[in-house]
């Protein structure tokens, strides 16, 4: 009997140890984090809005953690190459993803064979920043407001061309949303990035474009492009006299470009919580806000819960837009 009781006690201790082991590992991982260099993958070319946010975050997080935090640019496939790399990375918090919203909410609707699933492979940490898109036209276009542009498009269906930063980009999706809400026909002309699209817009090869406000603000201020409306729910502090799309007769139109930080899905919860705390804290720092303001980015330290909800909501919206437009990219 004594031997049997000893065996039972031994078995119970083993079971308890087995149950506690994951907690111990998670706690140890959080206590030791970061153990070495942290890499933030930015799946676009250097110099863009997402890249600027990633580099500010890297600098601030490095100072907070006392460890090197570096940015690695892995462009391609509308952000898909970098996202897939992070999804496959070791889930220990040392590889993070700085990403634009289109890769999270638009790409899954456009690309039927993506090598990742956002809800399966990625864990939201926090939204980081946002910028309104702005509808700009070449000054030769005979429209000084959104309704005038809609009237012109209806009078010449399919004749007006809108440029985008590429198939599946936020500018492309926003253009399709505009077409559907305004019930007009426009010709889509995709480019490999914002810069060549803007050049052709300036040269009148295309007539209009939805682009991130910081990219075109100098051209608006110089008069080389005309801003008709911003796509955010509220007016931009950088263009206070320019109405929103909703104010221009398209209620509920909201298509801001926003940016976020994520980790591989299986990253321990305690480690994710530390990354979230650190990210929100450094974003809320006054000097970080000043740096974001200087480059025209609205700071958005929302945390993981709000980011998860936004991804879900906008994924449904863009899935509907893409389905109605009949867009599919292999």
pLDDT in tens, 16-74: 444 444 444 444 456 789 999 999 999 988 888 899 999 999 999 999 999 999 999 99
CATH of 33-131+257-325 given 3.40.190.150, 3.30.70.20, 3.40.225.10, 1.20.120.50: 3.40.190.150
Alpha carbons 69 and 74: distance in angstroms, whole number:
16
CA distances to 104, 209, 279, 319 from 199, in Å: 28, 11, 36, 30
Q: What is the DSSP string of 223-250?
A: TSSEEEEE-SSS--TTSTTSPBTTTTT-
Mean pLDDT across 286-292: 94
What burial letters (b/e) apply to 85-109, b meaning 16+ CB within 10 Å?
A: bbbebebbbbbbbbbbbbbbbbbbb
pLDDT, residue 24, reads 43
Question: Which tens digit of pLDDT belongs to each residue from 315-329?
Answer: 999 999 999 988 777
Residue 117: how many other CB atoms lie within 10 Å: 11
Mean pLDDT across 69-84: 90
CATH of domain 133-230: 3.40.190.10
33-131+257-325 shares its CATH topology with 133-230: yes
pTM of the predicted protein model: 0.80
- Every domain of the chain and the residues it spans: 33-131+257-325, 133-230
Q: In the structure, what pLDDT confidence band is assigned to residue 246 with cuts at 50, 70 and 90?
A: very high
């Amino acid at each position: 009997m004594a031997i049997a009781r000893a065996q039972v006690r031994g078995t119970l201790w083993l079971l308890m140890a087995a149950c506690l082991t994951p907690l111990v590992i998670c706690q140890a991982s959080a206590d030791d984090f970061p153990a070495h260099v942290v890499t933030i993958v930015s799946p676009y070319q250097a110099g863009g809005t997402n890249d600027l946010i990633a580099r500010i975050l890297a600098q601030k997080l490095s100072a907070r953690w006392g460890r090197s935090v570096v940015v690695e640019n892995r462009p391609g496939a509308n952000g898909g190459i970098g996202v897939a790399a992070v999804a496959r990375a070791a889930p220990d918090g040392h590889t993070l993803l700085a990403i634009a919203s289109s890769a999270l909410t638009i790409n899954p609707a456009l690309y039927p064979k993506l090598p990742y699933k956002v809800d399966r492979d990625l864990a939201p940490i926090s939204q980081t920043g946002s910028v309104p898109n702005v509808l700009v036209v070449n000054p030769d276009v005979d429209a000084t407001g959104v309704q005038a542009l809609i009237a012109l498009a209806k009078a010449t269906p399919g004749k007006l061309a809108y440029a985008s930063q590429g198939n599946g980009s936020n500018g492309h999706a926003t253009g399709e949303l505009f077409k559907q809400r305004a019930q007009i026909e426009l010709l889509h002309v995709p480019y490999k990035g914002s810069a060549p699209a803007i050049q052709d817009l300036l040269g009148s090869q295309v007539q209009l474009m939805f682009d991130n406000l910081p990219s075109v603000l100098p051209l608006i201020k110089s008069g080389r492009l005309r801003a008709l409306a911003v796509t955010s729910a509220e007016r931009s502090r950088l263009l206070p006299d320019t109405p929103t799309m909703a104010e221009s007769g398209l209620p509920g139109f909201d298509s801001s470009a926003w940016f976020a930080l994520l980790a591989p899905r299986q990253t321990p919860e305690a480690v994710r919580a530390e990354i979230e705390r650190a990210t929100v804290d450094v974003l809320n720092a006054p000097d970080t806000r000043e740096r974001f303001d200087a480059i025209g980015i609205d700071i958005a330290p929302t945390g993981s819960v709000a980011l998860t909800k936004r991804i879900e909501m906008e994924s449904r919206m863009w899935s509907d837009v893409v389905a109605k437009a009949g867009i599919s990219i292999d």
